[in-house]
Amino acid sequence: GSLNYKDSDIYASMKSYFDQGWQISSHSNGDKAIDQALNSYAKLLAGNPKPQERRLRIEHFTVNNESQVQKAVQLGVVPSFTIGHVNYWGSAFHDHILGPERAKRIDPAGDFKRAGGKFTLHSDSPVSNVGPLNYVSEEVTRLWQLPPQKVLGPTQAVTIDDALRAVTIDAAYQIFADNIVGSLEVGKQADLVVLEKNPRKTPPAEIRNIKVKETWIDGKPVSLQ
């Protein structure tokens, strides 16, 4: 692809908001765009002893390399992966767009986990279907949809618990809401769902089919109709 902005322009536009205390989020799919975001973030955070406190974000972080993951974790950057890329277009990335070696690294949740970082999952709707349990299935299995189904980048898969964190407490952390929602703790809002099955005891590929029986907001049940 071609770049839309110069590095200097990106940094300047980020700095004006960063200096006012805003959280910065960058929409970066390709490895060059990720480099641009990370380089600007490094300049913004220079001299900051606790960069994690700013919780800078990169939306997608799709086509990447291992050094970018390490740099992102060092800067406290929390990416959000369109994990539907793997399920819906995994075969296209593998066979036609990127090739096997680059395709297996898309949405590198496994690398972020091993490096000690956080990540979240999303649909980029209408790019892929909305549903946190979809994302959990897709992240844990990394199966692409078209037959014959294959696993795209098995080392980038994570456990069910890690994927559940990515759509609950770590998602809340990413938007500075982890003191309010994201887990069931005294003093929080008690936003929760009751599922028909335990995801931990369900075959990963079937987690996406689990039905929601009840939804509670602020400790009170709400209608699903």
103 pLDDT more than 80: yes
**Mean pLDDT over the full length of the chain:** 97
Of 87, 76, 79, the closest CA to residue 34 belongs to 79
Give the Cα separation of 152 and 112 in Å (integer): 17
Q: Give DSSP secondary structure letters for 75-124.
A: TT-EEEEETHHHHHHHHHIIIIIS-HHHHTTSS-HHHHHHTT---EEE-T
**pLDDT the model gives residue 1:** 73
Query: Radius of gyration (Cα) for the chain, nearest Å?
Result: 18
Express each pLDDT in 11-70 by its tens digit: 999 999 999 999 999 999 999 999 999 999 999 999 999 999 999 999 999 999 999 999
pLDDT for res 225 = 67
Single-letter amino acid, residue 184: L
Cβ-contact 185, 172 below 8 angstroms? no
Distance in angstroms (rounded) separating the CA atoms of residues 111 and 193: 29
Find the length of the chain: 225
Q: Which CATH number fits domain 7-178: 1.50.10.100, 3.30.9.10, 3.20.20.140, 3.40.50.300?
A: 3.20.20.140
Torsion of CA 124, 188, 192, 161, to 10 degrees: 70
* Spatial contact of 66 and 111, defined as CB atoms under 8 Å apart: yes
